[in-house]
Amino acid sequence: MYSIGIDIGGTKIAGALVNDLGEILEQRQVPSPAHSAQQMEDSIVELIQELSQGNPVKAAGVAAAGFIDAAQSTVYYAPNIAWRNEPLKDKLEARINLPIVIENDANAAGWAEYRFGAGKSFTHMTMLTIGTGVGGAIIANGELFTGGFGAGAEIGHLRVQPDGLECGCGQRGCIESYGSGRALLRYLREETGNPALDANEGKKLLEDGDPAAWRALETLGSWLGIACASLSAVLDPQVYVIGGGVAAAGEHLLQPIRESFLTNLSAQGYHPEPEFRIAQLANDAGVVGAADLARKHAEKL
């Protein structure tokens, strides 16, 4: 069975034809008309039509950054796209003869890791995506957990520091301000004593294995470990999957997360230890996850 996954980013829309093993059979990419809701809808329709041509497609899933309702149909709010209370599922289904599912992009990526990647052999998985910010996804008992209103699993806004740094969400002390790529750049600047260090220079230090870069990663990892310890008290996942650009640091990131996790874990020594793994699907996770969630939805119809 084939389904289509669409992943909407701030600069491009990626689309893929995916089979039920999560394999990509065909891929397309177009620029993202983020400023216009109508043009965005047109681009999605065109992509789905192109990818379904001549293929027995059963459903399509659309992943976008933002709040999506629990029924996987309405985009309440998308920070980078001109969508406010957009009934996207209904609009797309009126133009395309396929069942459509809408999902938050971090949730779609988490679903892909759970089905086909680093979380494959588990039933309870928590994913943290360390990009510019901190995204997350929760799989509980083999199902995507999105909360009663669809706005759950926003792990980036877990508070780790009362009265801490200001966050884009309007609160203070969220893990996003301490465990994100942006925070890592701040630690790199502190470690190198160079307040003008930019993201590319920081990346180079990490690639070169500069000691300052490892120290910055340790700081980042120790904050993420604090967040994971709190998450384990609530969710008790068998595995944490760490994705996003910063995950390229591999063990150098996982090691300080594990150490800090164990230090901060409640009932230390009596709590089974989850695994910490790096995500496997990288840039394809969004399209593969969106396609697979659509397949799952269509099978239930």
Up-side HSE of residue 195: CA atoms within 13 Å toward CB? 0
Least distance CB 301 / Zn ion (angstroms): 37
In whole angstroms, give the CA distance from residue 234 to residue 145: 13
Nearer to Zn ion, 43 or 177 (CB): 177
Nearer to Zn ion, 154 or 191 (CB): 154
Q: Which stretch binds Zn ion (CB under 5 A): 145-153, 166-174, 210-218, 227-235?
A: 166-174
Nearer to Zn ion, 156 or 225 (CB): 156
Nearer to Zn ion, 71 or 169 (CB): 169
- Chosen residue from 174, 183, 235, 288 binding Zn ion by CB under 5 A: 174
Beta carbons within 8 Å of 46's beta carbon, 6+ residues apart: 30
- Chosen residue from 157, 258, 277, 296 binding Zn ion by CB under 5 A: 157
Residue 167 in contact with Zn ion, rule: CB under 5 A: yes
Residue 165 in contact with Zn ion, rule: CB under 5 A: no
In whole angstroms, give the CA distance from residue 101 to residue 106: 15
Least distance CB 31 / Zn ion (angstroms): 30
Residue 169 in contact with Zn ion, rule: CB under 5 A: yes
Least distance CB 252 / Zn ion (angstroms): 26
Nearer to Zn ion, 53 or 171 (CB): 171
DSSP 81-126: SS-EEE-HHHHHHHHSSS-EEEEEHHHHHHHHHHHHSTTTT-SSEE
Tokens at 252, concatenated? 């150098």
In whole angstroms, give the CA distance from residue 243 to residue 66: 18
Least distance CB 151 / Zn ion (angstroms): 13
Tokens at 88, concatenated? 């996207």
Least distance CB 60 / Zn ion (angstroms): 32
Nearer to Zn ion, 168 or 250 (CB): 168
Q: Which stretch binds Zn ion (CB under 5 A): 95-103, 151-159, 223-231, 259-267?
A: 151-159
Least distance CB 164 / Zn ion (angstroms): 10
Per-residue mark of binding to Zn ion, 40-69 (x: CB under 5 A): ------------------------------
Least distance CB 157 / Zn ion (angstroms): 4
Nearer to Zn ion, 169 or 234 (CB): 169
In whole angstroms, give the CA distance from residue 257 to residue 112: 23
Q: Which stretch binds Zn ion (CB under 5 A): 63-71, 122-130, 155-163, 291-299?
A: 155-163
Nearer to Zn ion, 174 or 239 (CB): 174
Question: By the criterion CB under 5 A, which residues form the site for Zn ion?
Answer: 157, 167, 169, 171, 174
